[in-house]
Protein backbone atom coordinates (compact mmCIF):
# COMPACT_ATOMS: atom_id res chain seq x y z
CA UNK A 1 0.00 0.00 0.00
CA UNK A 2 1.19 3.51 -0.82
CA UNK A 3 1.17 5.08 2.67
CA UNK A 4 3.47 6.87 5.10
CA UNK A 5 4.48 6.11 8.66
CA UNK A 6 4.03 8.36 11.69
CA UNK A 7 7.79 9.03 11.72
CA UNK A 8 7.72 10.06 8.06
CA UNK A 9 4.77 12.38 8.65
CA UNK A 10 6.70 14.26 11.30
CA UNK A 11 9.68 14.57 8.94
CA UNK A 12 7.45 16.06 6.22
CA UNK A 13 6.74 19.09 8.44
CA UNK A 14 3.01 18.41 8.28
CA UNK A 15 2.71 19.06 12.01
CA UNK A 16 3.22 21.98 14.34
CA UNK A 17 4.05 21.32 17.98
CA UNK A 18 2.08 23.58 20.29
CA UNK A 19 1.51 23.87 24.02
CA UNK A 20 -2.24 23.62 24.68
CA UNK A 21 -4.44 23.66 27.75
CA UNK A 22 -6.73 20.66 28.18
CA UNK A 23 -9.85 20.44 30.31
CA UNK A 24 -10.85 17.23 32.05
CA UNK A 25 -13.86 17.58 34.36
CA UNK A 26 -12.54 20.00 37.04
CA UNK A 27 -8.85 19.93 36.09
CA UNK A 28 -6.74 21.95 33.64
CA UNK A 29 -3.41 20.60 32.36
CA UNK A 30 -0.84 21.79 29.83
CA UNK A 31 0.98 19.52 27.43
CA UNK A 32 2.32 19.39 23.88
CA UNK A 33 -0.21 18.81 21.10
CA UNK A 34 0.07 18.07 17.37
CA UNK A 35 -1.60 20.54 15.01
CA UNK A 36 -2.00 19.74 11.31
CA UNK A 37 -0.24 22.33 9.17
CA UNK A 38 -2.47 24.37 6.86
CA UNK A 39 -0.38 25.93 4.09
CA UNK A 40 -1.39 28.17 1.15
CA UNK A 41 -0.56 26.26 -2.03
CA UNK A 42 -0.65 28.07 -5.38
CA UNK A 43 -1.09 26.06 -8.57
CA UNK A 44 0.83 27.89 -11.28
CA UNK A 45 0.29 26.76 -14.90
CA UNK A 46 2.94 27.78 -17.43
CA UNK A 47 3.80 30.79 -15.29
CA UNK A 48 0.23 31.89 -14.56
CA UNK A 49 -1.14 31.49 -11.03
CA UNK A 50 -4.56 29.87 -11.34
CA UNK A 51 -5.71 29.16 -7.79
CA UNK A 52 -4.57 29.13 -4.18
CA UNK A 53 -5.86 26.39 -1.89
CA UNK A 54 -5.24 25.72 1.78
CA UNK A 55 -3.63 22.27 1.98
CA UNK A 56 -1.62 19.84 4.02
CA UNK A 57 1.88 20.14 2.48
CA UNK A 58 2.43 16.59 1.23
CA UNK A 59 1.64 14.72 -2.01
CA UNK A 60 1.38 18.03 -3.84
CA UNK A 61 2.31 16.54 -7.21
CA UNK A 62 -0.66 14.18 -6.84
CA UNK A 63 -2.80 17.20 -5.95
CA UNK A 64 -1.66 19.08 -9.05
CA UNK A 65 -2.51 16.15 -11.33
CA UNK A 66 -5.82 15.34 -9.64
CA UNK A 67 -7.02 18.94 -9.55
CA UNK A 68 -6.04 19.44 -13.18
CA UNK A 69 -7.97 16.31 -14.21
CA UNK A 70 -11.08 16.90 -12.13
CA UNK A 71 -11.31 20.53 -13.24
CA UNK A 72 -11.02 19.57 -16.91
CA UNK A 73 -7.71 21.38 -17.40
CA UNK A 74 -6.06 18.19 -18.68
CA UNK A 75 -7.38 14.93 -20.15
CA UNK A 76 -4.66 12.63 -18.83
CA UNK A 77 -1.64 12.79 -16.56
CA UNK A 78 0.79 12.91 -19.49
CA UNK A 79 -0.65 16.32 -20.50
CA UNK A 80 1.57 17.62 -17.70
CA UNK A 81 5.23 17.70 -18.71
CA UNK A 82 6.75 18.72 -15.37
CA UNK A 83 5.82 19.63 -11.79
CA UNK A 84 8.11 21.60 -9.49
CA UNK A 85 7.49 22.72 -5.91
CA UNK A 86 8.91 26.01 -4.66
CA UNK A 87 8.67 27.08 -1.02
CA UNK A 88 8.16 30.81 -0.52
CA UNK A 89 7.75 32.93 2.61
CA UNK A 90 3.98 32.93 1.99
CA UNK A 91 3.47 29.25 1.21
CA UNK A 92 4.25 26.84 -1.61
CA UNK A 93 4.08 27.31 -5.36
CA UNK A 94 3.43 24.18 -7.41
CA UNK A 95 4.65 25.04 -10.90
CA UNK A 96 3.02 22.93 -13.59
CA UNK A 97 4.19 22.76 -17.18
CA UNK A 98 1.18 22.06 -19.42
CA UNK A 99 0.99 21.03 -23.04
CA UNK A 100 0.17 23.92 -25.35
CA UNK A 101 -3.24 22.44 -26.14
CA UNK A 102 -4.24 22.22 -22.47
CA UNK A 103 -2.84 25.64 -21.67
CA UNK A 104 -4.97 27.20 -24.40
CA UNK A 105 -8.00 25.42 -22.94
CA UNK A 106 -7.14 26.71 -19.48
CA UNK A 107 -6.95 30.28 -20.70
CA UNK A 108 -10.40 29.88 -22.27
CA UNK A 109 -12.00 28.47 -19.12
CA UNK A 110 -9.95 30.39 -16.59
CA UNK A 111 -11.58 31.52 -13.41
CA UNK A 112 -10.38 32.64 -10.01
CA UNK A 113 -11.01 30.28 -7.09
CA UNK A 114 -11.23 31.35 -3.47
CA UNK A 115 -9.45 28.43 -1.79
CA UNK A 116 -10.70 27.32 1.60
CA UNK A 117 -11.25 24.15 3.59
CA UNK A 118 -15.02 24.54 3.48
CA UNK A 119 -16.99 24.03 0.33
CA UNK A 120 -19.03 26.01 -2.14
CA UNK A 121 -18.97 26.97 -5.76
CA UNK A 122 -15.39 28.14 -5.38
CA UNK A 123 -15.16 31.26 -7.50
CA UNK A 124 -17.52 30.17 -10.29
CA UNK A 125 -18.58 33.27 -12.13
CA UNK A 126 -21.85 31.87 -13.53
CA UNK A 127 -24.36 29.31 -12.24
CA UNK A 128 -23.91 27.28 -15.43
CA UNK A 129 -20.33 26.52 -14.41
CA UNK A 130 -21.43 24.06 -11.73
CA UNK A 131 -23.06 21.82 -14.39
CA UNK A 132 -19.99 20.26 -15.92
CA UNK A 133 -19.92 17.98 -18.93
CA UNK A 134 -19.27 14.55 -17.46
CA UNK A 135 -19.04 11.03 -18.94
CA UNK A 136 -21.68 8.36 -18.47
CA UNK A 137 -19.92 5.63 -16.52
CA UNK A 138 -19.85 2.01 -17.67
CA UNK A 139 -20.68 -0.92 -15.39
CA UNK A 140 -17.40 -2.81 -15.12
CA UNK A 141 -16.93 -2.75 -11.33
CA UNK A 142 -18.37 -5.46 -9.08
CA UNK A 143 -17.84 -5.24 -5.33
CA UNK A 144 -19.00 -7.61 -2.55
CA UNK A 145 -20.77 -5.29 -0.12
CA UNK A 146 -19.86 -7.65 2.74
CA UNK A 147 -16.26 -6.39 2.42
CA UNK A 148 -17.17 -2.78 3.14
CA UNK A 149 -16.74 -3.02 6.90
CA UNK A 150 -13.20 -4.34 6.43
CA UNK A 151 -12.49 -1.42 4.10
CA UNK A 152 -13.54 0.99 6.83
CA UNK A 153 -11.13 -0.67 9.25
CA UNK A 154 -8.28 -0.49 6.75
CA UNK A 155 -8.86 3.20 6.05
CA UNK A 156 -9.00 4.09 9.74
CA UNK A 157 -5.79 2.20 10.50
CA UNK A 158 -3.97 3.86 7.58
CA UNK A 159 -4.71 7.46 8.61
CA UNK A 160 -1.29 8.29 9.99
CA UNK A 161 -1.73 12.09 9.91
CA UNK A 162 -5.28 11.94 11.22
CA UNK A 163 -4.22 9.68 14.07
CA UNK A 164 -1.81 12.27 15.49
CA UNK A 165 -3.82 15.44 14.73
CA UNK A 166 -7.51 14.48 14.64
CA UNK A 167 -8.15 17.23 12.08
CA UNK A 168 -7.68 15.77 8.60
CA UNK A 169 -9.82 14.04 6.01
CA UNK A 170 -8.76 10.91 4.17
CA UNK A 171 -9.69 9.24 0.89
CA UNK A 172 -8.62 5.69 0.09
CA UNK A 173 -8.58 3.80 -3.19
CA UNK A 174 -9.58 0.13 -2.94
CA UNK A 175 -9.51 -2.64 -5.51
CA UNK A 176 -12.56 -4.78 -6.34
CA UNK A 177 -11.64 -7.24 -3.58
CA UNK A 178 -11.66 -4.51 -0.94
CA UNK A 179 -7.89 -4.13 -0.53
CA UNK A 180 -6.61 -0.63 0.24
CA UNK A 181 -4.07 0.34 -2.42
CA UNK A 182 -3.46 3.99 -1.55
CA UNK A 183 -4.56 6.69 0.86
CA UNK A 184 -4.22 10.46 0.81
CA UNK A 185 -4.90 12.80 3.73
CA UNK A 186 -5.48 16.54 3.88
CA UNK A 187 -7.12 19.21 5.98
CA UNK A 188 -9.52 19.70 3.06
CA UNK A 189 -11.73 16.85 1.86
CA UNK A 190 -11.75 18.10 -1.74
CA UNK A 191 -7.96 18.33 -1.70
CA UNK A 192 -7.63 14.83 -0.24
CA UNK A 193 -9.85 13.61 -3.09
CA UNK A 194 -7.81 15.45 -5.72
CA UNK A 195 -4.63 13.90 -4.29
CA UNK A 196 -5.94 10.35 -4.59
CA UNK A 197 -7.32 11.07 -8.08
CA UNK A 198 -3.87 12.32 -9.09
CA UNK A 199 -2.28 9.13 -7.76
CA UNK A 200 -4.87 7.02 -9.60
CA UNK A 201 -4.19 8.82 -12.88
CA UNK A 202 -0.62 7.51 -12.86
CA UNK A 203 -1.63 3.88 -12.27
CA UNK A 204 -2.70 2.86 -15.81
CA UNK A 205 -6.49 2.36 -15.58
CA UNK A 206 -6.50 0.69 -12.18
CA UNK A 207 -9.98 -0.65 -11.38
CA UNK A 208 -11.54 0.05 -8.00
CA UNK A 209 -13.48 2.56 -5.89
CA UNK A 210 -13.06 5.44 -3.44
CA UNK A 211 -13.86 5.62 0.28
CA UNK A 212 -13.88 9.02 1.98
CA UNK A 213 -14.14 9.99 5.63
CA UNK A 214 -16.33 12.96 4.74
CA UNK A 215 -19.77 13.50 3.29
CA UNK A 216 -20.36 13.22 -0.45
CA UNK A 217 -20.97 16.66 -1.90
CA UNK A 218 -21.89 17.37 -5.51
CA UNK A 219 -18.32 18.48 -6.23
CA UNK A 220 -16.81 15.26 -4.88
CA UNK A 221 -19.25 13.28 -7.02
CA UNK A 222 -18.34 15.34 -10.09
CA UNK A 223 -14.62 14.87 -9.49
CA UNK A 224 -15.05 11.09 -9.11
CA UNK A 225 -17.09 10.82 -12.32
CA UNK A 226 -14.69 13.02 -14.26
CA UNK A 227 -11.89 10.53 -13.52
CA UNK A 228 -14.11 7.59 -14.57
CA UNK A 229 -14.15 5.90 -11.17
CA UNK A 230 -17.43 4.01 -10.85
CA UNK A 231 -18.11 4.08 -7.09
CA UNK A 232 -17.77 6.60 -4.27
CA UNK A 233 -18.40 5.55 -0.66
CA UNK A 234 -18.71 8.17 2.08
CA UNK A 235 -18.75 7.72 5.84
CA UNK A 236 -21.28 10.55 6.12
CA UNK A 237 -24.32 11.45 4.05
CA UNK A 238 -24.65 12.57 0.45
CA UNK A 239 -26.42 15.76 -0.57
CA UNK A 240 -29.47 15.76 -2.82
CA UNK A 241 -27.58 17.36 -5.70
CA UNK A 242 -24.80 14.79 -5.37
CA UNK A 243 -27.37 11.97 -5.66
CA UNK A 244 -28.93 13.57 -8.74
CA UNK A 245 -25.57 13.85 -10.50
CA UNK A 246 -24.68 10.27 -9.53
CA UNK A 247 -27.96 9.00 -11.00
CA UNK A 248 -27.47 10.93 -14.24
CA UNK A 249 -23.96 9.56 -14.80
CA UNK A 250 -24.30 5.98 -13.49
CA UNK A 251 -22.08 6.46 -10.44
CA UNK A 252 -22.60 4.06 -7.54
CA UNK A 253 -22.94 6.34 -4.51
CA UNK A 254 -23.01 5.02 -0.96
CA UNK A 255 -23.27 7.05 2.25
CA UNK A 256 -23.36 6.49 6.01
CA UNK A 257 -20.82 3.69 5.63
CA UNK A 258 -20.53 2.36 9.15
CA UNK A 259 -20.24 -0.97 10.94
CA UNK A 260 -22.96 -3.31 9.62
CA UNK A 261 -24.79 -0.57 7.71
CA UNK A 262 -24.68 1.72 4.68
CA UNK A 263 -27.12 3.73 2.59
CA UNK A 264 -27.02 2.87 -1.12
CA UNK A 265 -28.21 5.95 -2.98
CA UNK A 266 -27.49 4.91 -6.56
CA UNK A 267 -25.85 2.15 -8.61
CA UNK A 268 -26.70 -0.93 -6.54
CA UNK A 269 -26.14 -3.03 -9.70
CA UNK A 270 -22.39 -2.98 -9.03
CA UNK A 271 -22.77 -4.51 -5.58
CA UNK A 272 -22.58 -8.23 -4.91
CA UNK A 273 -24.93 -9.09 -2.05
Which residue would you say has higher pLDDT here, 3 or 109?
A: 109
pTM: predicted TM-score of the whole model, two decimal places: 0.86
CA angle 75-78-83, nearest 5°? 110
Q: Would you say 261 is a known binding-site residue?
A: yes
CA distances from 207 to 140, 145, 175 (A): 9, 16, 6
Mean pLDDT over 179-206 rounds to: 96
Is residue 115 scored above 50 in pLDDT? no
For residue 33, is it within any domain?
no
Q: 90 and 190: one domain?
A: no
Q: Would you say 101 is a known binding-site residue?
A: no
- CB of 174 closer than 8 Å to CB of 209: yes
Q: In this predicted structure, what is the pLDDT of residue 13?
A: 54
Q: List residues with catalytic annotation.
A: 119
- pLDDT classification of 167: cutoffs 50, 70, 90: confident
> What is the number of structural domains in the chain?
2
Q: Would you say 24 is a known binding-site residue?
A: no
Percent of the chain with pLDDT over 90: 73
For residue 22, is it within any domain?
no
CATH number at residue 108: 3.10.20.10
Q: 115 and 150: one domain?
A: no
Centre a 10 Å sphere on the Cβ of residue 107 and count the other Cβ atoms it contains: 11
Which residue would you say has higher pLDDT here, 254 or 19?
A: 254
**Structural domain span for residue 68:** 39-127
Q: What is the pLDDT of residues 37-73, one digit of tens each?
A: 999 999 999 999 999 999 999 999 999 999 999 999 9
Amino acid sequence: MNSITKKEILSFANLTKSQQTFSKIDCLTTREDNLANEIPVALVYNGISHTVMMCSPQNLADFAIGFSLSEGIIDKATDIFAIDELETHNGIEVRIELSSRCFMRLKDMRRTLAGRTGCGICGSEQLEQIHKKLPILHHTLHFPISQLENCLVQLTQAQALGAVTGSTHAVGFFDQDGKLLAIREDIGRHVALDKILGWHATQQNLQGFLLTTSRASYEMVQKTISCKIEMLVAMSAATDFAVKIAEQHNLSLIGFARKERATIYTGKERLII
